Structure 1
Amino acid sequence: MTQQHTEPTTQADQDLTTESGSRPPKSKRAHIISHTHWDREWYLPYEKHHMRLVQLVDSLLDQLDEGLDYKSFYLDGQTIIIEDYLQVRPEQKERLEKHIRNGRIVIGPWYILQDAFLTSGEANVRNMQVGHQDAKRYGTPSKIGYFPDTFGLVGQTPQLMLQSGIDNVFFGRGVKPTGFNNTVSDEGYESSFSELMWEGPDGSKVLGVLFANWYSNGNEVPVDEASARKFWETKLADAEKYASTNELLYMNGCDHQPIQRDLPEAIRMAEQLYPDIEFVHSNFPDYLEALRGNAEHELSTVKGELRSQRTDGWGTLVNTASARVYLKQMNQLGQAMLEKVAEPLASYAYLLGRAYPHDQLTYAWKTLMQNHPHDSICGCSVDEVHREMVTRFDKSRHVAEALVEQSSSEIASMVDTSIFTSYGGDARPLITFNTTGWERSGVVQMELDAARRYFRDGYSLEEMALQMNEIDLSNRILVDEHGASVPCAVEDLGLQFGYDLPDDRFRQPYSCRRVRITFEAEKVPALGLKTYAWVRSEGISNEEVHDGQLSNEATLQHKERGMENEHLSVVIADNGSFSITDKRTGRTYHDLGIYEDVGDIGNEYMFKQPENEVARTTQDLVAEIRVIENTAYRISYEMVHHWEVPESADELLDREQRELIYYPYRKAKRSVSMIPFKIRTVVSLSRSGKGIHMETTFNNQAKDHRVRALFPTDLKSAVHHADSMFEIATRDNIPAPEWQNPSNTQHQQSFVDVSEDQAGLVVANLGLNEYEVLQDGRNTIAVTLLRAVGELGDWGLFPTPEAQCLGEHSFQLEIIPHHGHAAAADAYIEAYQFQVPWTRVQTEVHPGDLTPSHSLLAWQGEGLAFSSLKVNTDSGDLMLRWYNMTTEATTLRLAATPTSSLSWEAMYKSNVLEEEGETYEASQIEGASSVSFASKEWIMQTGACEIVTVGLRR
């Protein structure tokens, strides 16, 4: 007989035993989730953080190898940590993968933890796609919507999560819970608990969990009894204050936090101290399951953007949108080159039989996204971090440019340019590509080789130079595919060196005679091309075109200081500001383009104007004004302001920074010493233009200040609209009652719009992500051009002299009047096209399968914005994405064009992960169509504010 062994009964066991002999259920459960929040770069340069990461993962692997007491670790939701670690420790891949596959290291869903407002919608989609792809190489991506320290969240996040198979969001900023009384604040902007329901503009809902006590509320749990008792007394009360259930969440980690290797012992001590509470070394899926299974209260529903609207406004970190503006400008260009140019052109070439550069595009995207973490793209790190970012931006853009050059050349080689044969052997065809989703007109400039001599042909350098210099450039005109003359300006660039890099030969250097040609391309089809040629026209003088100076009948000049086309009339005032009259509405907008300068004694995170400072403006400053371009296709005026501004803040700012005075309480003023501040502005109107292009340049030598451009609208509206991620967000002009900050600056992507029913004004930008609608009685749109500060801010003193942004700067804006709410979409399309560079390429006279004016496909959908065109990595299907800019359902119609030889076998609805969904049948088109559709089309109903991804299979 085997003797049964029993443990002795302790007093604690007796205390926990009821009269019936059973153990009572635990009253609460503490979920302790181990993690580290890994900012790749911030208060230290990347490589210094990188070396600490290697130490951390080494320690984690050792801990997991020791046994099962240490249950699991969440790797901060970003797979780039794996890349960074294995770059140094490649031999640890098998060991790392083992723990990922058995669920003890949880990875994904993102590639990096990005900022939400300063990165494009497509960049966020690529981030999710790449994160999933990389995670699948090691195991299963976590389905956790993880935003621990993101500086506010965009309204479309719930829809993006659900389309990624994620039904939850964990976040640290954007909503402030009400607190003790568990009541909802005005209009549902606040949450009763740390758990809430978050609803996007399309109606998508996810469970939201706010780190109300931050993502470090379970950090460094004590093991010794006295410290542990004190720790848990505070931590339990803090979590219970906000939690909606008895499932309490504790995040065991913080920024760059090493793992707590004695956590199992700390948990055992907690269990001894609080026997009625279950302490679990948990993970997010288990916590979510417990949370949903023990719901006790109805949760608040928070709708739309989470931007900390109901706070005092001093800690929202919104002014990271204007810190180191040069980074935002480089990011805008980098994103546009990848998502709006390189991918569409590569897709175009792929459909013509070329290989799609999946790996190259992924590499370019990864390099770009390495600049997207919040402490990187927000410009709120030490100077070394942002120097390295510039290199990454360049690297990613160079890849995009190489792919664009390759794809456009391949497509051009298949365009039939033989129509220009009749102009002789020196006809020079050129092709303009429109990679936006709408028909486009605009001024295009490119360099063109009039003639070449290759070194391989045996010419001496002297012979090549002589022949090139003798090339006759006279009597040449630009013509379109129909032979119609197109007004242009041609600048002789003289003798130039160049080279080809053939795929099958050594490099081929040449000498050429090059010209720069500028003209207006009209009605280039959406996702298509249009062909022109620079040809000789004997006996026809083109002197006027070469000079760019035209007769009064052709000019867009209106009176001495005006511009006018069929849409707009512009008058420039003595102070360099201008007024725009929208001929369609008769509405005139006055005093546009005045500059404002104020002091800034804040930091990279937040702007703080010195108390009682009166803003300086160019309102009363007379500008030098002159015409610098006057052609048939465009007129441009230059305005120069010779201004003075204070050279910096006064000496008190340095002392306040060293004493770590919280920036809202600083008393520093601006220096009495003044320095010159010359601003050059060029405003332009093109023949077909629906907006005024404005370029501002200056050499900033002043410190501790902010420069903005002002655009009074004089429109009556309590709200305005701003372009955000896959959304036109509606925001109040006047902040909530809780807001105390005198500044109400906010984020934008492509544009901001103030509208009435019958009139509106859009101000579009290139990489200028900060604006404010002023409470000045005129609803003025103020766009931040530059913010110059000298410290990082946050938890200590980190001087950042390069954040003063000294040196040359250039900024581009477009001011677009429109008819009002009902017609705003047309202005938004103009603003979106403003973001996208034209692509143009020179080619030869040759036959081809593509017509000289050609497009891939046609689509139609009122209120829809076209977002992307790419090829799926696995299926090879063409993937297209739109989003509904409106709150009304609409219809998407999609078809091949008559000029396209392509046909589609099937169309299906997808999601942002490009997973195949419902298939749609094509229908035959009967009668005329308002778009150039071929014989059949697909029709899809699109919901309000819906993000729609479509797959096309050939």
Structure 2
Amino acid sequence: MKRVHVIQHTHWDFEWYFTRNEAMIQFVYHMDEVFESLRKQIVDYYLLDGQMSILDDYLDAYPEKKAELQKWVRAKRLFIGPWYTQTDELIVTGESIIRNLSLGMKLADELGGSQKIGYLPDSFGQGADMPKIYNGMGIHDAVFWRGLPKEKTNNREFNWQSEDGSNVTTINIKDGYFVGVGLIENDDAEETMKTVVADTSLDDIALPVGGDQRYVDYNLKDRINFYNQELKDKDITLFESNYPKLFEDINKQKSNLDTISGEFITSSVSKIHRSIYSSRYDQKYLNDKVERRMIYQLEPLMAMADRIGIPYKKSLLDKIWKLIVRNHAHDSAGGCNSDKTNQIILERLREADQLLYSTVDYLVRKISESEQNKKPNDLTFFNTLPYPVKKNVHFQVSLSEKNFETLDVTNRVNVDVLKVTKQYCGQIKRDESQYDPKDYYYIFDCVADVTLPALGWKTLTIKPLSGELAILEDLRETVIENDDFKIEFDDQKLNLLNKKKNQVIANFIKIVDDGDEGDTYDYSPAYSDKKFDLTFEDAKVTCQNGNSFKTMKIIGEWKLPADLNERANGVTNGKISYQLILSLDDQDSLIKVHLLINNQIKDHRMRAVIDSGIDDVQTKSYADTAFGYIERPVVDKNIHDWKEKGLHEEPSSIFPMLHWTNIHNENTGLTLMTKGIKEYQVVGKNYNKIALTLFRSVGFLGRPDLIRRPGVASGNQFTYIPTPDSQLQETLHFKFAISINGKFNPARNMKEFQEYAISNPYYQVQNLNQFTNILKYFVMHPLNKTVENRPFFELKKDGLIFSSLTESKDRSGWLIRIYNPNKISYSGNDIIKLRQKCLTSLTDFTGEIINNLGLQDSISVGSFAPGEIKTIKLEKGI
């Protein structure tokens, strides 16, 4: 007997071609329907889409409804949570996914309890690390629709397992969260049940009845009775149910299910939008920036500040996290929205950025101005990572004098001055000739090498001198080099000499442009396309050679088709001005790239193609994931017969990345680390080059009959929705770093990314320049005690990666999250060094204690399984 669990629900997109505000109007009336249906037993159970953001907005408008919400949730008739928003799983960080769940479960628990099911019915692909994340949050069951490859399993119910052993019982609603609408609208019960029963391996089956912003089906009970009458001789019975009840029945047979692992990003059961990772680059760049600043800068800095008496502001952090994760719903993160929705997304990201920036500035100023034995012009740099760093830092100092020297205690620090700006600090007047010469000062833009302690700060002395300081000049040269590399501009191209291998890679970085007749969901080649391998013809080239860094600046203009019509006709009336800066440091082995372009053309895709210099044919690529890395083929095995096999889109080997991607052989590898670029493809005759998609410029939310995605339009199938803002005709920044190194090492890749991408806040004690940041103009009390930089803790194992540092929920300690990115086990002995012994414990991701570890000053936590994540609690007082 097949037991069909009919689950009444609605799928409430947080925002899409409509804004969150527009959807909210329908939602407040929808909730009236829900409450009425529960009161009158029109439905036994109702699932409110598994995300709390919509209820957060609802309760903001109707706080008086909280009691009724609690009533139905506690009665286990209304199911809510665990998400704050239904997250994208592939291009937002693992910490963001954890915080999304934390916010959602906290709010749901306040309303009577969270549905502890990983419910993501519409995310565009499933990340390989999700079972780890779910188990760490106390979740052991999951539901999703998109991405499952047929070759993994043909069954809709299975065990999904990560490499560390984490496991969730999973239901794949293969025909979509809306498949059960057939129960309401189709009287052919046998035909409907063929779809429902197909590929199920158990007798208990899910039938979700709902859809996008769908109303409550008032006739649900009648339709279930009708179907049961029609199917009374077919060994099928339907009844109202819910996902917790369904999983209770399925888990009785868990041992009989297939066990599979990995990510699910194929289009065998639905569209997957494999190239959405490059839509609306402007949003992805800003989201990446706020994630990095929140996780790796503000949260650790707030912990550092709390230790010296500046209170930890958990509510402020939660406010910022809510702003961030509201942009992580699958449509929001993808960028496949109307222009007005994308404008709101950008505004939320800007608001989060302003809050982050201002909080960091406040804390570094408060600490610096409270520091013991502080002196005028002291310059303090902060390191918010749990290991020492030695790196080049960019900074500004403001002085009355035209010259200075920088001292680390008594040792002179080499400083390169890039620019000096004369500035006035008196009251502004219409007639500037009345300004007092004594009210002028100088702002110096500088670069220097600094070595900073783990989770600490270092203060340098700025000593004014007489005379004038030499400024680093722009030289009309075409070569820069350090101990590792030599970069030469020659014949409109860039050539790279790898000194350690004595290998020259000609034209090692180039920009490629092609037409894009896709939409905000997918890249698709233009029907009449022309590809351009762009050179640096007629570019102006200058170089700077500092004490510990070298830069090459290339400024020019590319001529390209202005739109698809010009591309089809071979016309190039469009122009893109650009500035490409390549940097080499003496402190690391990275080639740092900063490309600034002014995009003024439409319907195209631009990619940066980097040559690895590896002669071997590459068959695999590698990229980081939420808490590890994944191996992928450079050519999909279905690429030549995907239509015949029924795939919903071309399985191009275009893949997502979070922070880095890599190709390698046994001896060497190419790793690209990016700030906001989320898409790559391995290309070239031997598949030995990596193409980073810089951005795509398109003008519609959805288009039908694409070359890569034939058939109906994605999104709304019945009307074109223009998105002129998604043409991104604006100035765009692209930042990435190139690492050419030895054997593949995922932990080294991630640590190099952290050192490269996480900036070091700083503060100069001075009153000349009241506008070094927005809040500097306002007065501030220092702490009522002098402070000193006491060691906090240091992560000692290079094979393990720092993920986060936060305060525990009960405020009694610090939670340190660390993970093993390797596919092999790794020792957890002596991984953290403390300055003194303290009580330590292992916890789950929420801070609930799993195992007390006792008093330790060198923390050991046992071995890390492949890909395992561990959260360690340190009692406050260290």
CA distance in 2, matches of 1:114, 1:261: 30
Q: Secondary structure of 2:750's partner?
A: helix
TM-superposition CA deviations, 1:733-754 (whole Å, max 9, x none): 2212356437421101111111
Q: Is the 8 A contact 1:886 1:944 kept in 2?
A: yes
Q: Secondary structure of 1:478's partner?
A: strand
Q: Is the 8 A contact 1:648 1:671 kept in 2?
A: no
Task: Tell me what 2:761 maps to.
Answer: 839
TM-superposition CA deviations, 1:20-54 (whole Å, max 9, x none): xxxxxxx2211111111111111212211111111
Q: Secondary structure of 1:134's partner?
A: helix
Q: Secondary structure of 2:320's partner?
A: helix
Give, in angstroms, the shift of residue 497 of structure 1. 5.7
Q: Which of 516, 522, 539 is the aligned partner of 1:624?
A: 539
Residues 56 and 429 of structure 1: CA distance in aligned 2, closer, same or farther (over 3 Å) = same
Q: Which runs of 5 or more residues in structure 2 are unaligned?
A: 428-437, 643-649, 703-713, 768-781
Q: Which amino acid aligns with 1:883?
A: Y
1:685-834 matched pairs, under 5 angstroms = 685-715=584-614, 716=616, 717-737=618-638, 740=642, 741=650, 743-793=652-702, 794=714, 795-796=716-717, 797-821=720-744, 823=745, 825-834=747-756
* More moved, 826-835 vs 259-268: 826-835
Task: Tell me what 1:244 maps to.
Answer: 201
1:917 counterpart = 2:850 = yes
Q: Secondary structure of 2:181's partner?
A: coil
Q: Is the 8 A contact 2:380 2:764 kept in 1?
A: yes
Q: Is the 8 A contact 2:5 2:207 kept in 1?
A: yes
1:79 counterpart = 2:8 = no
Q: Is the 8 A contact 1:712 1:778 kept in 2?
A: no
Task: Tell me what 1:861 maps to.
Answer: 797
Give, in angstroms, the shift of residue 285 of structure 1. 1.0
Q: Which runs of 5 or more residues in structure 1 are unaligned?
A: 1-26, 178-184, 422-426, 451-470, 500-509, 551-556, 652-667, 924-934
Residues 752 and 496 of structure 1: CA distance in aligned 2, closer, same or farther (over 3 Å) = farther
CA distance in 1, matches of 2:421, 2:791: 33
Q: Which amino acid aligns with 2:619?
A: A
* More moved, 434-443 vs 157-166: 434-443
Q: Which of 296, 301, 311 is the aligned partner of 2:259?
A: 301
Q: Secondary structure of 1:811's partner?
A: strand
CA distance in 2, matches of 1:299, 1:643: 56
TM-superposition CA deviations, 1:532-587 (whole Å, max 9, x none): 1221246xx6633xx1259xxxxxx9x9422222333322333242314152x445
Give, in angstroms, the shift of residue 757 of structure 1. 1.8
1:472-871 matched pairs, under 5 angstroms = 472-474=401-403, 476-489=404-417, 491-495=419-423, 513-537=441-465, 543-544=469-470, 547-549=471-473, 560-581=477-498, 583=500, 585-611=501-527, 613-619=529-535, 621-650=536-565, 669=568, 672=571, 674-715=573-614, 716=616, 717-737=618-638, 740=642, 741=650, 743-793=652-702, 794=714, 795-796=716-717, 797-821=720-744, 823=745, 825-843=747-765, 855-871=791-807
CA distance in 1, matches of 2:455, 2:145: 40
Q: Is the 8 A contact 1:922 1:938 kept in 2?
A: no
Q: Which of 384, 400, 408 is the aligned partner of 2:364?
A: 408
Residues 194 and 936 of structure 1: CA distance in aligned 2, closer, same or farther (over 3 Å) = closer
CA distance in 1, matches of 2:318, 2:296: 15
1:366 counterpart = 2:325 = no
1:204 counterpart = 2:137 = no
Q: Is the 8 A contact 2:14 2:85 kept in 1?
A: no
Q: Is the 8 A contact 2:628 2:867 kept in 1?
A: yes
Residues 270 and 779 of structure 1: CA distance in aligned 2, closer, same or farther (over 3 Å) = same
* More moved, 723-732 vs 430-439: 430-439
CA distance in 2, matches of 1:915, 1:234: 49
1:63-74 matched pairs, under 5 angstroms = 63-66=37-40, 68-74=41-47
Q: Which amino acid aligns with 1:321?
A: Y
Q: Is the 8 A contact 1:763 1:816 kept in 2?
A: yes
Give, in angstroms, the shift of residue 254 of structure 1. 0.9
Q: Which of 336, 358, 383 is the aligned partner of 1:434?
A: 383
Give, in angstroms, the shift of residue 906 of structure 1. 1.1
Give, in angstroms, the shift of residue 201 of structure 1. 2.4
Give, in angstroms, the shift of residue 883 of structure 1. 1.2
Q: Is the 8 A contact 1:857 1:894 kept in 2?
A: no
Q: Secondary structure of 2:565's partner?
A: coil
Q: Which amino acid aligns with 1:289?
A: E
CA distance in 1, matches of 2:722, 2:203: 44
CA distance in 1, matches of 2:674, 2:113: 40
Give, in angstroms, the shift of residue 347 of structure 1. 0.5
CA distance in 2, matches of 1:799, 1:218: 32
CA distance in 2, matches of 1:590, 1:237: 59
Q: Secondary structure of 1:918's partner?
A: strand
Q: Secondary structure of 1:124's partner?
A: helix
Q: Which amino acid aligns with 1:808?
A: T
Q: Is the 8 A contact 1:63 1:70 kept in 2?
A: yes
Q: State, as a whole percentage, how many aligned pairs show the same letter.
A: 23
Q: Which of 121, 138, 148 is the aligned partner of 1:175?
A: 148
Q: Which amino acid aligns with 2:680?
A: Y
Give, in angstroms, the shift of residue 176 of structure 1. 3.8
* More moved, 825-834 vs 687-696: 825-834
TM-superposition CA deviations, 1:862-919 (whole Å, max 9, x none): 4211111111132431011111111122223558868x5xx45311111222211112
Give, in angstroms, the shift of residue 439 of structure 1. 2.5
TM-superposition CA deviations, 1:304-330 (whole Å, max 9, x none): 11111x749x93212111111000000
Q: Which amino acid aligns with 2:489?
A: I
Q: Which amino acid aligns with 1:531?
A: T
Q: Is the 8 A contact 1:441 1:520 kept in 2?
A: no
Residues 269 and 315 of structure 1: CA distance in aligned 2, closer, same or farther (over 3 Å) = closer
Q: Is the 8 A contact 1:710 1:780 kept in 2?
A: yes
TM-superposition CA deviations, 1:153-208 (whole Å, max 9, x none): 1111111111111112211111144xxxxxxx3xxxx2121112212122322222
Q: Which of 381, 397, 403 is the aligned partner of 1:448?
A: 397
CA distance in 1, matches of 2:635, 2:243: 38
Q: Is the 8 A contact 1:582 1:818 kept in 2?
A: no
Q: Is the 8 A contact 1:380 1:604 kept in 2?
A: yes
CA distance in 1, matches of 2:482, 2:28: 62
1:857-936 matched pairs, under 5 angstroms = 857-893=793-829, 903-922=836-855, 936=858
Give, in angstroms, the shift of residue 669 of structure 1. 4.4
Q: Is the 8 A contact 1:155 1:201 kept in 2?
A: no
Task: Tell me what 2:707 maps to.
Answer: none
Give, in angstroms, the shift of residue 362 of structure 1. 0.1
CA distance in 1, matches of 2:454, 2:504: 31
Give, in angstroms, the shift of residue 612 of structure 1. 7.1
1:34 counterpart = 2:2 = no
CA distance in 1, matches of 2:81, 2:44: 18
CA distance in 2, matches of 1:128, 1:94: 23
CA distance in 1, matches of 2:439, 2:395: 18
1:162 counterpart = 2:118 = no
Task: Tell me what 1:118 maps to.
Answer: 91
Larger Rg, first or second structure (1 or 2): 1
1:57 counterpart = 2:31 = yes
Q: Which amino acid aligns with 2:216?
A: I
1:191 counterpart = 2:153 = yes
Q: Which of 253, 260, 278 is the aligned partner of 2:210?
A: 253
Give, in angstroms, the shift of residue 840 of structure 1. 0.9
Task: Tell me what 1:285 maps to.
Answer: 244
Q: Is the 8 A contact 2:487 2:494 kept in 1?
A: no
Give, in angstroms, the shift of residue 630 of structure 1. 2.7
